[in-house]
Amino acid sequence: MSVLSNRIEFVYYFDVTNGNPNGDPDMGNMPRVDPATQKGLVTDVCLKRKIRNFVALAKGDAAGYDIYVRERAILNEQNRRAYDDLGMSWEPRKLPKKGEDAKAVTEWMCKTFFDIRAFGAVMTTDVNCGQVRGPTQITFAQSVDAIQPLPVSITRMAVTTVAEAEKQSGDNRTMGEKHIVPYALYRAEGFLSPHFANATGFSEDDLQLLWQALINMFDHDRSASRGRMTARRLIAFRHDSALGNAPAHKLLELVKAGSAAGRSPDAPARTFEDYVVTFDEAGMPAGVTAEILL
């Protein structure tokens, strides 16, 4: 597996229909919104969680594809695996005194966990494995247009306890509420650095798995709250060099989403067909290759 040696940027579009793509727990789990523009937001953490979950499903117990940050994982125990496998003892909150031993512990973590190779990790817990900066960075996703979150009242037929049932009359229904976005198209951008890839060992095979995750992860992340979420476009820009051949923003700006022909400017978008995603291939600079992955 060759380590990634080219700088890469990518543009990623996905949409949601009648769902909540990323609720804010500080706001009653309402869809996240930029209050100044009313455009919807989905955090980078949310997208990385879905990537991790897809890799865990796709690779199972395959060596080198374990997931470090998983639900209910105890990070000290994850870190301890490195010391146990290398036959080393550990001191609380300290790396091994020998530089080669400290490097070996961190390298073991990178080789074992896909998400450390991809995103990096701070592993300075009680069982200290150091820290690495990952080659893959993903921005917050933002909706193309302003969104209008819709509160929907729901009822529950059952109750939890006998005491709760005795307090109620009639058919024991209780009221609740969920929040949805009727429709929104979101755009996220990503960056891959070969310099950080060299530090973690992120390979071309890992890159292909990342693309596979972005294209397919919503199909394995269904829930009642998220409605229908779909990956729509994924366009990557690969430079001929590690340092890059053009500014990232100029490449990312070659891809735009706008209203489809015939759509009324006053009509809210309700399907992906209400948009058109364009790519200005004529504006591509020398030394950069575009790959339309979706």
Q: What is the percent of the chain with per-residue pLDDT over 90, rounded to a whole number?
A: 84
pTM of the model: 0.92
pLDDT of residue 147: 95
Lookup: tokens for 272: 């992906």
Looking at 31-35, 53-57, 91-95, 159-163, which range is the least confident one? 159-163
- Which of the four pLDDT bands, split at 50, 70 and 90, describes residue 71? confident
- Which of the four pLDDT bands, split at 50, 70 and 90, describes residue 72? confident
pLDDT of residue 220: 95
Residue range 18-30: mean pLDDT, rounded: 93
What does the H/E/C string look like for 234-278?
A: EEEEEECCCCCCCCHHHHHCCEEEEECCCCCCCCCCCCHHHEEEE
**Contact predicate 181/159, CB 8 Å:** no
pLDDT of residue 172: 61
pLDDT of residue 171: 61
- Which of the four pLDDT bands, split at 50, 70 and 90, describes residue 169? low
- Which of the four pLDDT bands, split at 50, 70 and 90, describes residue 152? confident
* Beta strands at 150-156 and 128-133: parallel, antiparallel or unpaired: unpaired
pLDDT greater than 70 at residue 168: no
pLDDT of residue 189: 98
Looking at every residue in the chain, the average pLDDT score rounds to 94
Tell me which residue has tokens 């594809």. Answer: 65
pLDDT greater than 90 at residue 151: no
CA gap 53, 67 in Å, rounded = 8
User: Which of 40, 47, 36 shows the shortest CA–CA distance to 24?
Assistant: 40
pLDDT greater than 90 at residue 173: no
